[in-house]
Every structure is written in C-alpha cells, then in structure tokens.
Amino acid sequence: MFLTSCRIYYSTYSVFCYFHTPINQIVITMKRLCLIVLLLAFAVACKDDDDQIIEQCEIPTNLSVTNITDSSASISWENANDTQNVKIEYGISGFLPGNGSIIDASQNSAILSGLSADSVYDFYVQAICTIDNVSMNSISGTFSTNSNPVTAEFLPNLSQLNLFLGNMADLTLSTNVFKYDLITPLFTDYAHKLRIIALPQGQAMQYDGEGFPIFPNGTVLAKTFYYNNDETNLTLGRKIIETRVLIRQSNAWTIGNYVWNDAQTDAILDENEHIVPISWVNEAGEAMSTNYVVPAANDCTKCHDNAGNVVAIGPKIRNMNFDVDGINQLQKFIDAGHLTDTPSIDAIASLPNWQDESLTLESRSRAYFDVNCAHCHSPGGFCEIQSTLDLRFEVDFNDTNIYERKGSIDFRMSAYYPGISMPFIGTTMIHTEGYALIQEYLNTL
C-alpha cells in the first residue's frame, strides 16, 4: 500500500489521505494522525502579529509631599509612560498594599484628604498604561500630618485646646506649639514648669525691645506645673498639678487655670483655689512635702495685673536670650519664623542668671527680684500703693528703694507667714537658695 496524497480540512479538523491500494479508499481521522496535525496547525497559525512587543509600564518615581495640614496632603510623582493614569493607595504607616484607601488620578499630582491629625501615612503610586498593562507599585512615600489647630478659647477641658498630643500625662507638645525657657525663672515651691507658646497660623511675635514682644491676637501662653516623684530616679514618674493659660484676643489677655485630675488624663477649667498635698524626693535625696496652693482666678490677676490690664510675667525678650541645647533660643525663634523684626542677637541684652556665680552678686540679685517680685513691685503693679519698691531690672538702683526697704525685704523672705511673706501669692515655703542670695546681697548694702 502506497500513500499518494493527503488533504487537511480545518473546519472539521480532519485529514483525508489517499492510498494506491487494491482496496477501497481509507479515511484516517486526526486522532490517528494527531502528531501530523499539530505540526501542520502550528505552522499555519504562526503569523506576523505574534511578533508584536508590548512595552513595559514604567513605575512612577520621585514621590514628594507638600502642603501638609492636619487633615490633608498634596502628593506628586514623575511618570515616564505615555499615559498619565495612575492608582494611588494610602493608609496609616505600615498598612499592607491591597488594604489601603484608593483614588485614581490622570495627572502627576493628587490631594489626599480626610486624613487624621498627628498621624504617619504611607502611600504608593501605580501606573496604568492599559487595562491589561500596569506597573508595579512605586516605592512607598511617607509623611506625617500636622496636629489639630490650637484652640485659642477657654473650653472645659485642657485637652480641647489641642496643646498636647496623645496621652495627656506625657505632655507631648503639639506641632503647633513650641517650648520656651527662662534664664531666671520664677520660684513656685520647687515645682517644675513646662512653658509653651502657640501662635496663630502664619503669624509671629514682633520684637519690641528687651521687654515683652508684641504677641498677635490668638496667641496662647501655657505653663504646666509638676513634680518629679524622685529627682534621683526620674523613672518613678511625676505628678502634674495645674496648667495656667493666658489667651490673647482683641489686644488683651485673659487668664484661665486648669487643674489636673488624679488619673492625670486631663485638666479641668476651674476658677477656685485648691490645696494639693504633694511629696517628693529632691536632688539631694531629701524627702520634701508641701500643701501646694492652686490659686483662685482672682489671685492670678493680682500678679498678672498692671494698671488694670492683664500682662504676662516671664517671656520677656531679655529673659529668653540665652543658649538652649547649644543654640541661642531667640535665634531658634527667628529661624522658625516665630519672632520677627529683631536686631542682631548680639545687640540684645540678656537677663543675668541668678545661679551663675561668675556674675556679680548685685546683677544676680536684681535679676531674681525682676522675675519674682517686679510684676507686683513696679508702677501699676499690685503692690504699688502698699510699697515704694520698684524692683524692675532696668531701674537704676537709687530709684528702687531696695536700700531703704532692705530690712522689710529680709523679714518677708526669711520665713513663710501667710499674708505677710513675699512672694505674696504662689508659694507656701521659703526658697532657701533664693533667700540666701538676697540675704547676702542685702548685707553688702
């Protein structure tokens, strides 16, 4: 039997072969000649369009973030593909791709909104060249949202002012506030103080000489009083007593006082006086205790009033002009945009540090008087009528009446007599080190 010819019928996937044979024509189906069929079909199926190459969809690069607020952020990227369609996935830092929020964009930027304040976010950008051709995710971009805006209003709870983040007892500052320190601070029964300033968005303090700067309306000043349980072992924690707040609106200051609860979870606006028993161990390892007095609102105004106007006490330019962590504090404020219109830092005087024994006894003592006493003992102050003293640092010694009243000064600082001792408000014990300084100074007069 000899094969003479074969014909392939693609419509029925059959092969007919004719044989020169004494017997009748034999039809052989594709099942018996599958190998032949596959080879032939492969040869026929290969056409030019199988050689078409689909270009790879490139991954977006150079991710950046701008205009971050407490609830939104603008993101951008570079896309080398012909089409600019992308998918953006974002979420709290550490989220797994596929579990985040998704938005689409058709340009090289987008705005992420509805974000949570004080949070860290990751985001990825994926290019979509066609439905069937997408890039891999970009490397992750990361950013942190801003804190909630500070509320320049006296609300029932301190937490509502947004001065602190997270757990209130940690006293973690909002990104919208900044800390300041004083060269010579006011004494309050050895309490520690965290002093902070919150300025309105986009505004700054204006230099106005070596006294107080000009604070814009909407400024919040806050001072939190606390004791470390053991100054020799700070891991034993602390007790926060109160946070005193000044808010500036309509070119005038108003005062409010927040008393911390026992759980240290928040502080409540309270105009009443409170006695808080407090015990601690000082730096020398000595056990200390006192009945700390949280002043009533009307007592606060006695120290903060001058000629009928509420004033601040501590944050004078000269009392903030010193190095903190190796950098001049005023320069930090300038660099951060918090203080404007200043002359050269070298041209601004600094209040002496009352504890710096390299300075003269007189300058240290006058600085101590300026911070602890001058707000009352000065023209317009609470004690202007009862006392002839003017204890401001800038006043010439001959005009202070310190010499004439040195006996009274010594007596009122030497022991604690409620209603007689000085300072009149804010202390319940003698400032041993401060009194020693003033006594030594008075003895030289």
Q: How many whole angstroms separate alpha carbon 320 and alpha carbon 28? A: 105
**Two tokens, residue 117:** 């304040």
pLDDT per residue as tens, the chain (445 positions): 444 445 544 444 444 454 444 444 434 444 444 444 444 444 444 444 455 678 899 999 999 999 999 999 999 999 999 999 999 999 999 999 999 999 999 999 999 999 999 999 999 999 999 999 999 999 999 999 999 999 999 999 999 999 999 999 999 999 999 999 999 999 999 999 999 999 999 999 999 999 999 999 999 999 999 999 999 999 999 999 999 999 999 999 999 999 999 999 999 999 999 999 999 999 999 999 999 999 998 889 889 999 999 999 999 999 999 999 999 999 999 999 999 999 999 999 999 999 999 999 999 999 999 999 999 999 999 998 888 999 999 999 999 999 999 999 999 999 988 888 888 888 999 999 999 999 999 999 9
Is 0.85 surpassed by the pTM of this model? no
Q: How many whole angstroms separate alpha carbon 195 and alpha carbon 221? A: 8
Among residues 218, 296, 294, 211, which one has the least CA distance to residue 253?
218
What are the boundaries of each domain within the chain? 2-51, 61-144, 153-351, 352-445
Q: Are 310 and 250 in contact (CB under 8 A)?
A: no
Among residues 60, 143, 56, 145, which one has the least CA distance to residue 109?
60
> What kind of fold does domain 61-144 have according to CATH?
Immunoglobulin-like (2.60.40)
In which residue are the tokens 């987008």 written?
Answer: 110
Amino acid at 122: D
* 120: phi then psi, degrees, rounded to nearest 5: -100, 130
| Residues with Cβ within 8 Å of residue 388, at least 6 apart in sequence | 401, 404, 405
Where do the DSSP E strands lie in 295-419?
305-306, 309-310, 323-324, 327-328, 339-340
Q: Are 237 and 376 in contact (CB under 8 A)?
A: no
Among residues 301, 303, 334, which one has the least CA distance to residue 317?
334
Q: How many whole angstroms separate alpha carbon 72 and alpha carbon 421? A: 54
Q: Does the CA dihedral 276-280-284-285 come out positive or negative?
A: positive
Q: Are 90 and 100 in contact (CB under 8 A)?
A: yes
Q: Is 160 helix (H, G, I), strand (E, B) or coil?
A: helix
Side-chain-side CA neighbours of residue 401 (13 Å): 12
Q: Are 243 and 263 in contact (CB under 8 A)?
A: no
